[in-house]
Amino acid sequence: MPARRGSPPARAGECRPRRLASAMAAGLALAVLPGAPATSTALAMPRDGADPTAGSTPRGDFAGSVSLPGGRQVYVECRGTGTPTVVLISGARGAADEWTHAVDPAHPQAAPRPSPSAVLPTVASFTRVCAYDRPGTTRFDDVPTPTTAVPQPTTAQDGAADLRAVLAAAGEHGPYVLVGASWGAMIATLAARTGDPRVAGLVTVDGASTHLRDTLTPTQWSEWMRTIDATEGPEGLEVPDYTASVAEIRAAPQLARLPAAVLSSDEPWDLRLDGGGSTWPAWSAAQARLAAELEARHVTDTHSGHGVAVEQPRTVSDAVRDVVDRVRGGTHEQRR
């Protein structure tokens, strides 16, 4: 997940653009502060499978703010036509441009730039696709999102509730394939597990998961939580509550078998921790456990650091197309 302004310098093997580092040390932005009050005013998801936007006229290409219950504004960008609708969920503090920008292979040290080969425009060539700015996110040009700020920290449950409300407010309807990068994978996983039959497929892009609580050593976990806690400030930036989110996901119903893919970085990178040794083995082990849990196709030859979506957008788009094709074919058989 791309790093934001004020992030620590990139480490060896880590995705290099400016916004690609704070996800590791300041977030993956998985902050701890268990017991924080819920901040979302999002619309509750219907449990009977009814789609609140079903029957509405499909929208064309759209980029702008939509109103959520309570008056909050959220920036959304949708393109393309077709079904299922792919929903792109960025990493911590990452805006929708995480999916519209890509690294120039000729200038890998430069910041990502708008690109027709980025994930969102590529996916728009074969189905409907949407991305949005969560509260407290920042764009690659360091401009804060126009999305209304909310009290921080927030949890995966807050993110999943906002996701449903955003899609309803934007006039989108399922079935959906959820694509979550890093922290966004926590939101996507919980959304898929909370009983919505409109979620038909799932893709994680070097996604965070509950398994990190088990694969990191106690020392690494404690140090990571201290590092995240130290990133809090008055800026209004997103601070996900990782500890509470792990509990939310583990308490949710088991995920029904869906067409799924797990994409993992294969260029080693580490969280910036003062002690406890390399976190790369734990991250890799958590990826393998996530793939097994989802019974997913596990793509490990990504030739990428943590920011797979901007470093190797074709790899992400290909995985999304594969899941979309399986949803369209009505089969949950996994291509290994």
pLDDT at 106: 86
Q: What angle do CA 181, 128, 209 make, to 5 degrees?
A: 20
pLDDT at 227: 80
pLDDT at 112: 95
Cβ 334 vs Cβ 323: under 8 Å: no
pLDDT at 37: 27
C-alpha atoms less than 13 angstroms from C-alpha of 37 in its C-beta half-sphere: 4
Q: Which fold has domain 18-37+57-328?
A: Rossmann fold (3.40.50)
Contacts of 264 (CB under 8 A, 6+ apart): 206, 284, 287, 288, 291, 298, 299, 300, 302
What is the per-residue pLDDT across 147-178, written as a single tens digit (0 to 9) for each?
A: 999 998 899 999 999 999 999 999 998 999 99
The token duo for 318 is 């290909």
Contacts of 306 (CB under 8 A, 6+ apart): 1, 14, 15, 20, 23, 24, 182, 206, 265, 269
Using alpha carbons, select from 136, 152, 134, 306 the residue that is nearest to residue 229.
Answer: 152
Strands ordered across the beta sheet of 260-263? 62-67, 73-79, 129-132, 85-89, 176-181, 199-205, 260-263, 297-299
pLDDT at 269: 94
For the chain, residues with pLDDT lower than 70 are: 1-59, 195-197, 231-234, 331-336
d(CA 15, CA 311): 7
Cβ 102 vs Cβ 16: under 8 Å: no
pLDDT at 276: 76
Strands (E), the chain: 62-67, 73-79, 85-89, 101-102, 113-114, 129-132, 176-181, 199-205, 260-263, 297-299
| DSSP-assigned letters across all residues of 138-186 | B-TTSPBPSSPP--S-B-HHHHHHHHHHHHHHTT--S-EEEEEETHHHH
State the pTM of this model: 0.84
| DSSP-assigned letters across all residues of 261-298 | EEE---S------SSSS-SHHHHHHHHHHHHHHHT-EE
pLDDT at 234: 54
Kind of pairing, strands 199-205 and 260-263?
parallel
